[in-house]
Amino acid sequence: MRAGPSQEEIRRYNLGTLLRHVHLGGPTSRAELTSRMGLNRSTIMALTADLAAAGLVREELPRETGRAGRPSLVVRPESARIYVLAFDVGVDRLVAARVGLGGVILDRRESVRQRGTFDLAEVISTLAGFARQMVRKTRPDTVCVGAAAAFCGAVRESDGTVHFSPNLVGPIAELPFGEELSRKLAMGLPVAVGNDANLGALAEHTRGVAPGCRNLIYLHADVGIGGGIIAGGHLLGGHEGYFGEVGHMIVNPGGRPCGCGSRGCLEAEVGERALIDHAGMYGRVGREAVRTLVEAADRGDIAARDSVHRAGDWLGIGVANLVNIFNPEVVVFGGTLRELYLGSAAQVRTQINTSSLPAARANLRLRTTALGDDVTLVGAAELAFTQMLADPLEMLARVSP
Amino acid sequence: MRAGPSQEEIRRYNLGTLLRHVHLGGPTSRAELTSRMGLNRSTIMALTADLAAAGLVREELPRETGRAGRPSLVVRPESARIYVLAFDVGVDRLVAARVGLGGVILDRRESVRQRGTFDLAEVISTLAGFARQMVRKTRPDTVCVGAAAAFCGAVRESDGTVHFSPNLVGPIAELPFGEELSRKLAMGLPVAVGNDANLGALAEHTRGVAPGCRNLIYLHADVGIGGGIIAGGHLLGGHEGYFGEVGHMIVNPGGRPCGCGSRGCLEAEVGERALIDHAGMYGRVGREAVRTLVEAADRGDIAARDSVHRAGDWLGIGVANLVNIFNPEVVVFGGTLRELYLGSAAQVRTQINTSSLPAARANLRLRTTALGDDVTLVGAAELAFTQMLADPLEMLARVSP
């Protein structure tokens, strides 16, 4: 237990907090910042001046306020100037984007990936190539302040190594993904790496269906199923950062075999393969196949409907367990779980009502992601902004030309 | 997002942190405090002087150091003078204790409770009576700085109301337990109330088998099963404080009916009733019955052994799920789960090895509580000290005669 912060640490914290307000909330008046941060007007003015001098924000007169008197200046993030690089490595696709302060996607590249193969050098070369194309197009005064990637696997936070990614890489992996991508980018920036579902939770918590919600679970399906958990306002990380492998929670002991070696995991019962096998659509794969299946169920196709309802029952049991364990305010479904939930909401809700404690589910809301297929990419961008928001001026000094 | 702390808030934080060091670590030299808190010697000296002037610590020469030169003074908590009242409401017993700063149990009272009945007024009267007996025996210069209770039920943190306690009170409850006990004590102190398993986790994290461990799960069985979870160094609380009802995680869909209305919950498969029923010991109840059963299994009684091994299998699946979800460093078994684990460690470990991800269990340790039957009481005492440790001088000013 260390002592409290020094004056200099507090100034850094306050600069970061002010910047975070405009990054997450958009243009904000000085008066509003004064009240939200609990500081006096002159301190807010001094902090804003420092951030403006560094080119991180600018101050301008608000549009029509409708009120009499001198309007409070509005602090606006310099979204076109300050940006991060965000990457998303999914089973079926690779995405790179340039995301401006304030969360604006300024530029974006995507390519389809072939399943069943994974060549680290090729993946990194594609992503770094996308980044170079995008950076080349920027104005000379723009500054890249961070880089991060979402990866569909278990990630060791300390060094961005992908430790385990059965659906992408195979049963064993130890990929120095963050390190290699950083080297290939050659921009002098580390690349932070996060599990896709964890970053989906971060995205929903910052910009999605439940901004600021303190207890949120995000469940994501690609081929596998993962979960990210915000508890007490913080993204949970676990001992080594392998937190939230809720896809391997056993919901049906002795059930379908799972890629992890066990049986009856949530992923084995609810994932893409289970859905497609039970509907008799052997050989089809991918997000589009799941969408087709759920649409067929909606139209009344019996095999499709049975498969969707069956998966909904197991998903409901899995969610009920998480509700009993975490007592969340919101559970958000993303990736192909978005489609599955929309096709089986009745089954999911019935199982939750049967199997979770009334007190734990009393204020529960179930939602689908509002960020579409970019939810994990948006989370990666937020991860990339983390260091910048912790100490804006220091970070800027480090990356400025 | 508020601004950083003021100078006065930092001073309070530093006083609290220094006091927490000696509360948890026992007598500590000024030199050690200087290095642990990252402050300079004169600041540590000033903080210690303030705490000593308030009668919270005293400074003394250390016993033999074996080193040459002037020894650093040792800061020692005033355990005999500063204390809290801690209570434990279990299914079978009521306990009250007077616990000194530093965690010393100074005095203790216990009574056996009759199962199947719960009279709030009577429980409160018993606990308050114990407290009065103990307080009456104290010296005039002692000061009670807090009070808290562990309760075997779901507790709403904000006001200490017991919301749900099926095994103690029946299916529905809304007991203003903290408020009523505070009124009956008439000491001008609020009584904080926590779920027994959550407080068990707090106890293990502060004084038990894994002090300071950042990711720990404590599993507790009385009649029911509960879990307390420390993630990233913090006790998780959930939206309304009903966090960690892991006893109602479904491990065996369609299995034994549970008191919560569902089937196949961990509690239904592993709890006291399942153990005793499967061994054919109908009619026996309580911690002693479970101990007798596990001893019989150890001696080779076949029915007892089958029941213990069966429960160990389900416990292993439950723990595997928690390991996949939380990636903890330590899982601690307390209450009657201590006995059950000792009798079925092979089954528990086998299930964990079969059903959890290698990465999530790589550094996992399984332990039984080192705090015996008092684990929840010790947790209640730590909860009672919380406010005092957040702002020592303010709290002392409020409670001093």
ipTM of the prediction: 0.86
Of the candidates B142, B164, B185, which has an alpha carbon nearest to the alpha carbon of residue B242? Answer: B164
Question: How far is Cα A151 from Cα A228, in angstroms, rounded to an integer?
Answer: 13
- More confident of the two residues A157 and B304: B304
Low-confidence residues of chain B, pLDDT below 70?
A: 64-68, 169-172, 238-244, 401
Place of tokens 């009903």: B242
Q: With an 8 Å Cβ cutoff, are B360 and A245 in contact? A: yes
Residue A234 contacts B, CB cutoff 8 Å: yes
Between A and B, how many CB-CB pairs are < 8 A? 194
What are the tens digits of pLDDT across the range A177-209? 999 999 999 999 999 999 999 999 999 999 999
Dig out the tokens for A242 from the structure.
């392998």
B188 touches chain A (CB under 8 A): no
- Selected residues 19-78 of chain A with any CB under 8 Å from a CB in chain B: 20-21, 36-39, 43
Chain B nearest-CA distance from A345, in A, is 20
pLDDT at A117: 80
Parts of chain B belonging to CATH 1.10.10.10? 7-77
CATH architecture group of domain A212-370: 2-Layer Sandwich (3.30)
Class of domain B82-198+376-399: alpha beta
Residue A325 to residue B325, Cβ atoms within 8 A: yes
| Alpha helix (H) residue ranges in B137-271 | 177-185, 196-207, 266-270
Tokens standing for residue B75: 């800061």
What is the domain class of B7-77 according to CATH?
mainly alpha
B317 touches chain A (CB under 8 A): yes
Query: Cα(A243)–Cα(B326) distance, rounded to whole angstroms?
Result: 5
Q: Which residues of chain B lie closer than 8 angstroms to A242, CB-CB?
A: 327, 357, 359-360
Residue A104's DSSP bridge partners are: A100
Q: What is the CA radius of gyration of chain A?
A: 22
Looking at the complex, report in whole angstroms how far the Cα of residue B47 sits from the nearest Cα belonging to chain A. Answer: 11
Answer whether residue A54 shows pLDDT above 90: yes
Percent of chain B with pLDDT over 70: 95
Amino acid A171: pLDDT: 63
Identify from A357, A363, A391 which residue to disrupt to test chain B contact, counting B C-beta atoms within 10 A and taking the largest count. Answer: A357
What confidence score (pLDDT) does residue A68 get? 67
CA atoms of B325 and A260, how far apart (whole Å)? 14
The answer to whether residue A254 neighbours chain B at the CB level (below 8 Å) is no
> Which amino acid belongs to residue A127?
L
Q: Which of B38, B251, B262 minimises the CB distance to A354?
A: B262
Q: Which fold has domain B211-370?
A: Nucleotidyltransferase; domain 5 (3.30.420)
Residues of A in contact with B231 (CB under 8 A): 231, 236-238, 243
B-contacting residues of A 166-185, CB under 8 Å?
none
A2 interfaces chain B, CB cutoff of 8 Å: yes
Residues of chain A with CATH 3.30.420.40: 82-198+376-399, 212-370
* CB-based contact A124:A162 (threshold 8 Å): no
C-beta atoms of A327 and B20 within 8 A = no
The answer to whether residues B256 and B264 touch, using CB atoms and an 8 Å cutoff, is: yes
Over residues B150-188, the pLDDT tens digits come to 998 888 877 888 877 777 766 667 889 999 999 999 999
pLDDT of residue A308: 97
Q: How far apart are CA B258 and CA B247, in angstroms?
A: 10
| Chain A, window 120-159: residues with a beta carbon less than 8 angstroms from a chain B beta carbon | 154
Long-range contacts of B343-350 (CB under 8 A, 24+ apart): B343/B294, B343/B297, B343/B298, B343/B308, B343/B312, B344/B308, B344/B309, B344/B311, B344/B312, B344/B313, B344/B315, B345/B312, B346/B312, B347/B309, B347/B312, B347/B313, B347/B315, B347/B316, B348/B312, B348/B315, B348/B316, B348/B319, B349/B316, B350/B316
A155 within 8 A of A194, measured Cβ to Cβ: yes
pLDDT at A74 over 90: yes
CA-atom Rg of chain B in angstroms:
22
Mean pLDDT score of chain A, rounded to an integer? 91
Q: What pLDDT is stored for residue A44 in this prediction?
A: 94
Instruction: With CB atoms and an 8 Å threshold, state whether A9 touches B14.
Output: no
Q: How many CB atoms lie within 10 A of CB B257?
A: 12
Ranges of CATH 3.30.420.40 domains, chain B? 82-198+376-399, 211-370
